[in-house]
Amino acid sequence: MRVRFSARSDVGLRREVNQDSYGAQELPQATLLIVCDGMGGHAAGEVASRLGVDTIIETFSAAAPPESALRESFIAANHAIYTQGHGSMGTTGVAALFRDSSLYVANVGDSRAYLVREGQIQQISRDHSFVSDQVAAGLMTPEQARVSNVRNIITRALGYQPEVQVDIFALPLIPGDTILLSSDGMHGLIEDDEIAEVSSILPPDEAVQRLVDTSNARGGHDNITVVIAQVDEVSPPADSEALTLSTAQSPPTGSPAPAVSSALAVAPVAAPERTLSRLGLVLAALTMLVLVAAAGLALAQPPPVNAPSPSITPTPPPPSVTPAVSSPSVTPAVPSPSVTPAVPHASATSILPSPSSTAVSPSQAPTAPTRSAAL
């Protein structure tokens, strides 16, 4: 496979330190690209993201099956960050592995991987964030999630706990496909259709710079990192290395799978079962027993004398999604986001407005709250 790629990282307009990191490794039969977005005070986020990128590259084994190689390198990064920071620092992580005619994506946190094909864009990775879980449960719309003041809370990260669950996705590639990795400092300010337009029209080196400049023009409230790779040529795997992509599993309850073009279908690769999932099931069962017992006691109470019982509408508990109480013991399939309609091609000067024309004052720009992890 022949891939051309380019990357840019910028501190933005509001941060003093760039806590984003990216890396690339070109191997004889594969190309590995990585973006990490660190978090933690006193530059700990910068240390975590750099350590994450370096460890993933150093521990990645090209001889192992792609899914296993990515998962084990992310687990090694989690161990390295946790060992050094003792749970006080962490980072998101998203990686794209190009091998033969296929793409493999690993992600933890809310840094993203996108596929742009013939003007259509699809998010490959899944955001591990509070608002993403609320959207999946039907408790929040994507528009509400985008501007929510809790959008900074992530539910999974590298380095905060001794163990981590890594999502892996696999899909076939064709010549002309574009893969984009980004931290939330970019995709939090630029719409998907704009990303698709820029990536489809401009070569990678110009596209990454345009997206960084536009993010800063729209406030630059966070660090900005963009990596774009364009697939020029794919080669079928050798018979002894034939790749079989796994079949998509059922989406989690409450999150109906949107209609997605079959040409852009992504196959999630199930992660091994972890102890944390069993604990979640036990806690859920105990919670149900407590609720049933409480309801029985309430029914056993005699009605008040000479006073009609008031009609009370139970207040549902506030939606709180924590990985420790997630119900499935096997990583659920990730519902593929709806494909953005193809954007008509235009000249390079007609895509995103130039930074000077879209600049906003600091008072108008959205303010990103400090990143935190609900782990």
Q: Is 355 part of a structural domain of the chain?
A: yes
**Banded pLDDT at 347 (limits 50, 70, 90):** very low
Strand, coil or helix: what is 19? Answer: coil
Residue 50 belongs to a domain with what CATH number?
Answer: 3.60.40.10
User: In whole angstroms, what is the distance from residue 195 CA to residue 122 CA?
Assistant: 11
- Asked if residue 291 and residue 177 are part of one domain, the reply reads no
Nearest to 67 by CA among 22, 106, 19: 106
State pLDDT tens for residues 195-226: 999 999 999 999 999 999 999 999 999 999 99
323-341 in b/e form (b: 16+ CB < 10 A) is: bebbeeeebbbbbbbebbe
Q: What is the domain range of residue 34?
A: 2-272+332-373
In order of 98, 105, 250, the CA distances from 247 in angstroms are: 20, 16, 10
Q: Does 304 fall in a domain? A: no
**Is 249 found in the same domain as 283?**
no
- 306 part of a folded domain: no
pLDDT at 371: 63
How large is the average pLDDT for residues 16-42? 95
Q: Do residues 134 and 60 share a domain?
A: yes
Same domain, 174 and 156: yes
* Residue 134 is assigned to a structural domain of this protein: yes
Whether residue 286 has pLDDT greater than 80: no
* One domain for residues 153 and 295: no
> In this model, does residue 242 exceed pLDDT 50?
no
| Residue labelled with tokens 């070109």 | 26
pLDDT for the residue 250: 28
Same domain, 278 and 194: no
54-73 tens-digit pLDDT = 999 999 999 999 999 999 99
Whether 37 shows a pLDDT value over 80: the answer reads yes
User: What pLDDT does 141 receive?
Assistant: 93
Q: Do 320 and 185 share a structural domain? A: no
In whole angstroms, give the CA distance from residue 171 to residue 244: 10
pLDDT, the chain, mean: 75
Number of domains in the chain: 2
**123 and 11 fall within a common domain:** yes
Percentage of the residues of the chain whose pLDDT score is greater than 70: 63
Indicate if 51 and 191 belong to the same structural domain: yes
137-139-140-141 Cα dihedral, nearest 10 degrees: 70
Residue 251 is assigned to a structural domain of this protein: yes
What's the pLDDT score for residue 375?
65
Residues 159 and 295 in one domain: no
Residues 281 and 242 in one domain: no
The pLDDT of residue 42: 73
Please check whether residues 16 and 126 belong to one and the same domain: yes
